[in-house]
Structure 1
Amino acid sequence: MSCVGCFCLTSAVKNSDEVSNMHIYAIGDLHLSGEPPQKPMEIFGAHWQDHKEKIKKNWLASVQPQDTVIVCGDISWAMGLQNAAPDLAWLAQLPGRKLLLRGNHDYWWASLAKMRQQYGSDFEFLQNNCLLADNTAICGTRGWILPSSESFTAEDEKIYKREAIRLELALQQAAAQKPERIVAAFHYPPLFAPEEHTLFTGLLEKYGVQHCVYAHIHGENHVQPFEGERRGVYYKLVSCDTQGFALTQII
């Protein structure tokens, strides 16, 4: 199997020293909009031309049925759950176990009960919870604009603090499972500057998270968030256009 966009590759070793055949990947910002697309993404740059086909090609080249894929938000431009059906059906037919996280443009996102009722056989949802993949606990929250942003407001602070509470609830669930490792997934980056401290980074360090993936950032006209190892946590941007529309292998 080819390893597209790998970082910090770690073998998941079971107690019997048997190497697991399950890999964990992450990708974000698919920005699907039906077929034919109702919102062609090439208006944001020529590299977005046929991006859906590029994602599928890379996905099929990397992911096996036993693998797990974290989808870090901005999955569909649809405005309601029923309108998102074509995009979710397209995603469902790709191989692997899929864990979905809400992005700021996922207006179709409904209550967990409703989504599980309609799509529980195709997807699992990361929201105030933790999911296990072999001996790895995976937690996720949308995140939010950080206090370091010039546009940060009092209303943003309320949402930012609420998202931190949600993250800690998920991390508490993860810690209770005593996993071999913890992966945290965000839509918004949890930090930008290499030494920036946020409520999110503090929680990742407190609970011993080893890997953190996030999306939301696109192209050359945006401030790039920190990537790499910091205080025991490996941070990685996985917005699909920044990764050549390939998935990033975490574990």
Structure 2
Amino acid sequence: MNVFAIADLHLSFSSEKPMGIFGDCWDNHAEKIKANWIEHIHHEDLVLIAGDISWAMTLDEVQEDLNWLGTLPGKKILIKGNHDYWWNGIGKVRSILPKNVFAIQNDSMLIDDLCICGTRGWQLPSHPKTTSDDIRLYAREVERLKLSLLSAPKNCQKKMVMLHYPPLSSNGDSTEITELLEKNHIDLCIYGHLHAQAHQYAFEGFKNGIEYRLTSADYLDFSPVKLNI
């Protein structure tokens, strides 16, 4: 089993939602993702999708996007992104997922010897535009990550975390989230959310033994990236 990742699919088969604001590279992006996916990923592989899966607003609207995802090779694990407005209660979400698509919320999944935890995250308190409401939402996401990490089986050999928002800024300063990851001996953390010029604010590489990877679709040229995990 190989493990791949890609975030920010921003699918919109049931409603027209162009992504051109982030550049011409987003033209026909779903077709690009599908072609690259089929070329590199096989039935036995695992694909982690770190949020912003669909522009749909309701569970009915998102079904076509999820079905499209279900037709692609591999087992998929999802977390919620800030634009996943259709994600309304984990029980309801799981009830409409294709059989090879799974969702994490306040819990985790064990696949072979790999434990996958995750949550959406939120804008960092250190961000210059952070408000008191952002700080409240960030604190809630920290608690949700704690629940996910607590649910991880004790016997897993490797542990990784999926976030939608970046867990740290480009300068690599520690945050509540990075400290939590270190305390729980996480091997790898993937995230998305950053597009176009915002790619420059990504932190990639190792910090205190944890590898961090940006997996936004446009950053990866719309091709899922193979992870070293």
Give the alignment's TM-score, normalised by structure 1.
Answer: 0.87
- In the alignment, does 2:62 pair up with 1:81? no
- Alignment partner, residue 186 of structure 1: 163
Q: Deviation per CA, 1:45-66, whole angstroms, max 9, x where unpaired?
A: 1111111111001111111111
Letter in 2 for 1:145: Q
Q: Using the alignment, how far apart are the partners of 2:209 and 2:224 within structure 1?
A: 23
Shift of 1:171: 1.2
Select the residue among 132, 149, 153 that pairs with 1:171: 149
How many residues align structurally? 228
Q: Where does 1:106-121 land on structure 2 (aligned, <5 Å)?
A: 106-119=84-97, 121=99
- Alignment partner, residue 215 of structure 1: 192
SS in 2 for 1:220: helix
Report if aligned partners of 2:66, 2:98 keep a CA contact under 8 Å in 1.
no
> Structure 2: any 5+ residue segments left out of the alignment?
none
Shift of 1:169: 1.5
Q: Using the alignment, how far apart are the partners of 1:194 and 1:79 within structure 2?
A: 35
SS in 2 for 1:74: coil
Q: Using the alignment, how far apart are the partners of 2:172 and 2:4 within structure 1?
A: 26
Shift of 1:99: 0.6
SS in 2 for 1:60: helix
SS in 2 for 1:182: strand
Select the residue among 20, 33, 36 that pairs with 2:12: 33
Q: Which has the larger radius of gyration?
A: 1
- In the alignment, does 2:128 pair up with 1:150? yes
Q: Where does 1:192-203 land on structure 2 (aligned, <5 Å)?
A: 192-203=169-180
SS in 2 for 1:192: coil
- Alignment partner, residue 160 of structure 1: 138
SS in 1 for 2:110: strand
**How much identity, in percent, do the aligned residues show?**
44
- Alignment partner, residue 213 of structure 2: 236
Q: Using the alignment, how far apart are the partners of 1:233 and 1:167 within structure 2?
A: 16
Report if aligned partners of 2:67, 2:98 keep a CA contact under 8 Å in 1.
no
- Alignment partner, residue 60 of structure 1: 38
Q: Using the alignment, how far apart are the partners of 1:120 and 1:31 within structure 2?
A: 18
Shift of 1:118: 2.1
> Structure 1: any 5+ residue segments left out of the alignment?
1-21
Q: Using the alignment, how far apart are the partners of 1:194 and 1:43 within structure 2?
A: 27
Letter in 2 for 1:23: N
Give the alignment's TM-score, normalised by structure 2.
Answer: 0.95
Q: Moved runs in structure 1, 4+ residues, more than 4 A?
A: none
Letter in 2 for 1:31: H
Query: What's the RMSD between the two structures over aligned residues?
Result: 1.4
Q: Using the alignment, how far apart are the partners of 1:142 and 1:29 within structure 2?
A: 12
SS in 1 for 2:81: coil
Q: Using the alignment, how far apart are the partners of 1:43 and 1:226 within structure 2?
A: 23
